[in-house]
Amino acid sequence: MMFKPQTKCTTQHGFSLIELIGVLAIMSILASVIVPNLVKRIDSANADAEMLNLTHIASELERYITTQFTIPSSLDWAQAVASVSSLPINKVSQNKQGFNRGFYVDPKFFTNFDKVFAGYTQGAGKVFPPISPRIMLVSDMKGPAPAAPSSSAAFEAIWNQSVNSSIIENESIKIHRINLNRIFHQVLLSNGSTDDPFYRLNSANEKVIPTAVNNIKGELLLYVIDGSLLSLHLPPYPTGSAQFNTLIQSSVNISYDTNGASWFWSRL
Is residue 252 assigned to a domain? yes
- The answer to whether the bond into 238 is cis (omega within 30° of 0) is yes
221 lies in a domain?
yes
Residue ending a domain, among 181, 208, 233, is 181
So what's the pLDDT on residue 25? Answer: 72
In this structure, are 173 and 96 located in the same domain?
A: yes
102-105 and 120-121 beta bridge pairing:
unpaired
Q: Rounded mean pLDDT of 143-170?
A: 97
Looking at the fold, whether 197 and 161 belong to one and the same domain comes out as no
Q: How many CA atoms lie within 13 A of 103 on its CB side?
A: 22
- Is residue 3 a part of any domain in this protein? no
Same domain for 112 and 208? no
Write the CB contacts of 103 (distance below 8 Å, at least 6 apart in sequence). Answer: 74, 77, 78, 135, 136, 137, 138, 148
Task: Please indicate, yes or no, whether residues 71 and 141 belong to a single structural domain of this protein.
Answer: yes
146 secondary structure, DSSP code: P
Read off the pLDDT band of 20 (50, 70, 90).
confident
Least confident of 17-21, 47-51, 82-86, 97-101: 17-21
Cα 54 to Cα 237: distance, rounded to the nearest angstrom: 46
Do 222 and 144 fall into the same domain?
no
Q: How many domains does the chain have?
A: 2
Q: 170 and 78 in one domain? A: yes
Question: Using one digit for the tens of pLDDT, what is the confidence trace for 183-214?
Answer: 999 999 999 999 999 999 999 999 999 999 99
At residue 259 the predicted structure's pLDDT band, cuts being 50, 70 and 90, is very high
Residue 123 lies in a domain: yes
Backbone angles phi, psi at 40, to 5 degrees: -65, -40
Does 155 map to a domain? yes
Q: Are residues 203 and 144 part of one domain? A: no
Helix axes 17-68, 77-84, angle to 10 degrees: 80
Contact 146, 107 (CB under 8 A): no
Residue 111 three-state SS: coil
Question: Which domain range does residue 250 map to?
Answer: 183-267
List the CATH number of the domain containing 234. Answer: 2.60.40
- Does residue 198 belong to any structural domain of this protein? yes
Does 22 reside within a domain? no
Note the pLDDT tens digit of each residue in 125-137: 999 999 999 999 9
Whether 87 and 39 map to the same domain: the answer is yes
| Domain identity same for 51 and 168 | yes
> Does residue 14 belong to any structural domain of this protein?
no
Cα 232 from Cα 220, distance rounded (Å)? 13
